[in-house]
Amino acid sequence: MRRPLLFLLGLALGGCAWGPGQGFAVVEPTVRVAYEAQPARDVGDGYQKLASDYQVRVDSASMQLDGIELIAISSGSGGGFDPANPPPGYSLCHGGHCHRDDGALIDYEQIAAELGGGGGSSTVVTLPVEEPINLLVPETRVVGCQPECALPQTQVSQGRWGIKTLRITGAVRDGRVPPRIADEREFVLDLMQGPSDAPVAVLTGQVDLPSDRATPPEAKVTLRLVLTAQLFDTVDWATLARSTPGVMDLKSNAKALEAVLEQLARISPEAEVTRG
């Protein structure tokens, strides 16, 4: 009688792990977004040193996300992908990734898969983050899933973050002698989604989330995005004029805006998956 009892017990445990209607993985996602000061850049008075020797102090920072997509990437043959000659919709390939027209940095592997007829990438689940986020008072938010948190059999390998708005205010000063700007100046960066509803930027990061019978179904997914003073490293602050209220508006200067968006696109969100 011992073997039949063990067999029945195994079936019962299996039924608990993967019950009727349950996905191969059931995710419990949390999201944390923050602007963080880096000790190595600290020059006092709340200022952070930039690569250009300017110094930036951030007084307020907020972001609104257009949702986070967990992506599965199908394999493909490569289809003759040449970084020197990007396919339509991509430009400026370097450092293992290309710039997509919507602002995202896409890995060579993903582009090769799309060209190779492997199906490219597909959204497995979307995590809505509706409320604005105060980046200076970061919190870990529990978020839901669309259409549901139970995933089909797949391999999630990427997280894609759409940024709807980003607003940062603060001050800048010059660390050089003689200074390129003579005094401390206030600035504002105010990026908003346009009429076409295209995100301000799309950031991608790696996620290792297998959804199969070989791993426990419960998966806590911790998603993090950290902004730092590196965002302003390549801005030429001496070229920015003050607007009417006496504040420099980065969005009104094409080169400054391009410099910020380029740095923003290089940020890779992080993902930690814990199986239970």
Q: Are residues 181 and 213 in the same domain?
A: yes
Q: Are residues 157 and 267 in the same domain?
A: yes
In a domain, 80, yes or no: yes
Separation between Cα atoms, residue 230 and residue 51, nearest integer Å = 8
Regarding pTM above 0.85, the answer is: no
- Number of structural domains (the chain) is 2
Q: Which residues of 142-168 are buried (b: 16+ CB within 10 A; e: fewer)?
A: ebebeeebbbeebebbbbbbbbbbbbb
Residue 119: pLDDT band (50, 70, 90) is low
Comparing 251 with 108, which gets the higher pLDDT? 251
Q: Are residues 235 and 154 in the same domain?
A: yes
In this model, does residue 127 exceed pLDDT 80? yes
128 backbone dihedrals φ, ψ, rounded to 5°: -75, 135
Q: Are residues 52 and 92 in the same domain?
A: no
Q: Are residues 181 and 68 in the same domain?
A: yes
Task: Decide which of 99, 118, 137 is a domain's last residue.
Answer: 118
Q: Are residues 88 and 53 in the same domain?
A: no
Q: Tokens in use for 233?
A: 């490293």
Segment among 58-67, 86-95, 130-139, 184-193 with least mean pLDDT: 86-95
pLDDT for residue 136: 98
195 beta partners: none
Q: Are residues 176 and 142 in the same domain?
A: yes
In a domain, 5, yes or no: no
The answer to whether the CB of 141 falls within 8 A of the CB of 129 is yes
Torsion of CA 234, 237, 239, 240, to 10 degrees: 120
In a domain, 92, yes or no: yes
pLDDT for residue 4: 44
Which residues are CB-neighbours of 106 under 8 A, at least 6 positions away?
A: 90, 97, 98, 99, 100, 204
In a domain, 47, yes or no: yes
Q: Are residues 208 and 85 in the same domain?
A: no
Residue 9: pLDDT band (50, 70, 90) is very low
Q: Tokens in use for 182?
A: 């003579």
Centre a 10 Å sphere on the Cβ of residue 45 and count the other Cβ atoms it contains: 10
Q: Are residues 59 and 82 in the same domain?
A: no
In a domain, 57, yes or no: yes
In this model, does residue 10 exceed pLDDT 80? no
Q: Are residues 193 and 259 in the same domain?
A: yes
Q: Are residues 99 and 163 in the same domain?
A: no
Segment among 124-133, 165-174, 189-198 with least mean pLDDT: 189-198
Task: Give tens-digit pLDDT for 207-217.
Answer: 999 999 999 99
* The 3-state secondary structure of the chain, one letter per residue: CHHHHHHHHHHHHHHHHCCCCCCCEEEEEEEEEEECCCHHHECCCCCEECCCCEEEEEEEEEEEEEEEEEEEECCCCCCCCCCCCCCCCEEEEECCEEEECCCCEEEHHHHHHHHCCCCCEEEEEEECCCCCEECCCCCCEECCCECCCEECCEEEEEEEEEEEEEEEEEEEEECCCCCCCCCCEEEEEEEECCCCCCCCEEEEEEEEEEECCCCCCEEEEEEEEEECHHHHCCCCHHHCCECCCCCEEHHHCHHHHHHHHHHHHCCCCEEEEEEC
In a domain, 2, yes or no: no
**Cis-peptide, bond into residue 147, ω within 30° of zero:** yes
In a domain, 242, yes or no: yes
Task: Give tens-digit pLDDT for 70-118.
Answer: 999 765 544 566 777 788 888 877 766 788 887 777 877 778 777 765 5
In a domain, 15, yes or no: no
pLDDT for residue 193: 78
Q: Are residues 220 and 93 in the same domain?
A: no
Residue ranges making up the domain that contains 213: 26-74+120-275
Per-residue pLDDT, averaged over 200-205, amounts to 90
Separation between Cα atoms, residue 194 and residue 202, nearest integer Å = 14
Comparing 23 with 141, which gets the higher pLDDT? 141
